[in-house]
Amino acid sequence: MSIFTKKLGIDLGTANTLVFVPGRGIVLNEPSVVAVSKDDNKILAVGIEAKHMVGRTPDSIIAYRPLKDGVIADYRVTEAMLRYFIGKALGKWNIWKPEVMVSVPAGVTGTERRAVIEAALRAGAKSAFVVKEPVLAAIGAGIPIHEPAGHMVVDIGGGTTDVAVISLGGIVSSISVKCAGNRLDAAIADYIKKTFNLVIGEQMAEEIKIAVGSAVPVEEAEELTMLVRGRDFVTGLPRTTDVRTNDTVKAIGKELREIVRAMRDVLQETPPELSADIIDRGITMTGGSSHLRNFPELVFRRTGVKAALAKDPLFCVARGTGIALDHLDAYKKSIIAKR
């Protein structure tokens, strides 16, 4: 690594944080989780190590996510987490302070944006830029955002879903809803508790979503089944049960309707000229939660517009930060707040 590499792009997500170094690609992809000891408030572990502790800690240790719905909920812990990720990405011999670009949800307030910049600067950045997630997702998905044509991007992460129509490098209309991957996990856990009298943890719920989840019902022959372990709600003893794909469809229907409603609202606000472009080009879906089976199909059924997954949806925002960092001048219209 050359001593002149001093740029970092950070996709600061509710569920995962990705760090992108121009020229090297994504160097780090870890859960946004921090383990803190209750007694002396010391930070014990960050990232993957801390994620393994979620739901498994003694009373003296709390493992939690410092970002809630894409926004900093715990400032001190977020700063420590950023410092850890920046240090890990640059390596321990690095003496230079990096320029850092951080992604924020489209619906972020000025105060929340300043909190992100402050946290990045205090975590060791020389200067910090903030860019809205849908713009970065579009850049990372390879969409030519500078041309005078409408592109619709839906970034579905862990904490927030950002829907935006982008034209001429800026956001024409956008909505950010606090309904995304984490809410889907919670809905699955809730459904299994009600239907099977089985209590499961958030990690198990996420595994079910990934292994057998679907956005639309499937034929019986195509259903996937997963053996789910948890605690019996009545007896309190461990028990297993089978969960099928169409169970998950029922479980997350309400949450998916909310995400699709956000897309419809943005489409309704879009000027007719750009709507025509979107019908031609379709909707681009990015973010980790857009991996849900048959999600594009659900979007098409509900909006009448074709939808397609971007290449490597999970990495789009992080790749976008890298591209924007390399061409700061070209993207300066989209970049907010710089110190």
For residues 178 and 159, is the Cβ–Cβ distance under 8 A? yes
Give the residue among 259, 268, 299, 271 at the shortest CA–CA distance from 283: 299
Give the residue among 127, 133, 83, 88 at the shortest CA–CA distance from 107: 133
Consult the annotation and say whether 49 binds a ligand: no
Consult the annotation and say whether 209 binds a ligand: yes
Consult the annotation and say whether 159 binds a ligand: yes
- What's the N-to-C CA distance of the chain in angstroms? 26
Consult the annotation and say whether 201 binds a ligand: no
H or E, element range at 110: helix 110-122
Residue written as token pair 């920046």: 86
Residue type, 326: D
Consult the annotation and say whether 16 binds a ligand: yes
- What strands lie across the sheet with 335-338, from one edge to the other? 25-31, 16-21, 7-12, 99-104, 127-132, 335-338
Consult the annotation and say whether 206 binds a ligand: yes
Cα–Cα–Cα angle for 200, 16, 248, nearest 5°?
35
Consult the annotation and say whether 188 binds a ligand: no
Angle separating helix axes 245-269 and 181-196, nearest 10 degrees: 140
Give the residue among 51, 7, 44 at the shortest CA–CA distance from 29: 51
Beta-bridge partner residues of 151: 166
Give the residue among 269, 279, 43 at the shortest CA–CA distance from 164: 269
Question: What is the three-class DSSP state of 176?
Answer: strand
d(CA 244, CA 167): 41
For residues 27 and 119, is the Cβ–Cβ distance under 8 A? no
Give the residue among 331, 253, 284 at the shortest CA–CA distance from 134: 284
Consult the annotation and say whether 23 binds a ligand: no
> Annotated binding site for ATP, which residues?
14-16, 158-160, 206-209
> Annotated binding site, which residues?
14-16, 158-160, 206-209
